[in-house]
């Protein structure tokens, strides 16, 4: 049973690394090309996944500060009226005027 659990964890880590290689932008990949990393992770199994995690993944600070094209940006989430300070200020004024 323990061997099955270890095998499932290894398979999950390998699949995660494989999907991450495929979904990472080509310009964010470090050290080698994206296709080369895909082949390494595909054929080297968990050793390739560990190598990808150490040497191929984009660094967090680089990936988060990278300027993405405008088509990838999502519009800001709608805010409720109770989150808008201008709305609350106007509501307070209207309530005071009614008194």
* Contact between 36 and 60 (Cβ < 8 Å): no
pLDDT tens, 1-49?
Answer: 899 999 999 999 999 999 999 999 888 888 899 999 999 999 998 899 9
Residue boundaries of the structural domains of the chain: 1-66
Please report which helix (H) or strand (E) contains residue 65, including its range: helix 60-65
Q: How confident is the model at residue 99 (pLDDT cuts 50, 70, 90)?
A: low
- State the DSSP code for 59: P
Tokens of 71: 């088509």
Q: Is 0.85 topped by the overall pTM?
A: no
* Contact between 10 and 46 (Cβ < 8 Å): yes
Whether residue 79 is predicted with pLDDT greater than 60 in this model: the reply is yes
pLDDT tens, 20-30?
Answer: 999 998 888 88
The pLDDT mean for the chain works out to 83
């Amino acid at each position: 049973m323990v061997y099955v659990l270890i095998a499932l964890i290894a398979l999950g880590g390998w699949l995660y690394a494989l999907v991450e290689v495929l979904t990472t932008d080509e310009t964010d990949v470090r050290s080698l090309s994206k296709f080369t990393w895909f082949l390494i992770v595909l054929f080297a199994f968990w050793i390739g996944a560990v190598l990808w995690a150490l040497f191929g993944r984009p660094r967090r600070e680089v990936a988060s500060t990278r300027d993405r094209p405008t088509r990838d940006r999502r519009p800001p989430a709608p805010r409720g009226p109770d989150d808008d300070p201008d709305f609350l200020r106007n509501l307070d004024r209207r309530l005071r005027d009614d008194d």
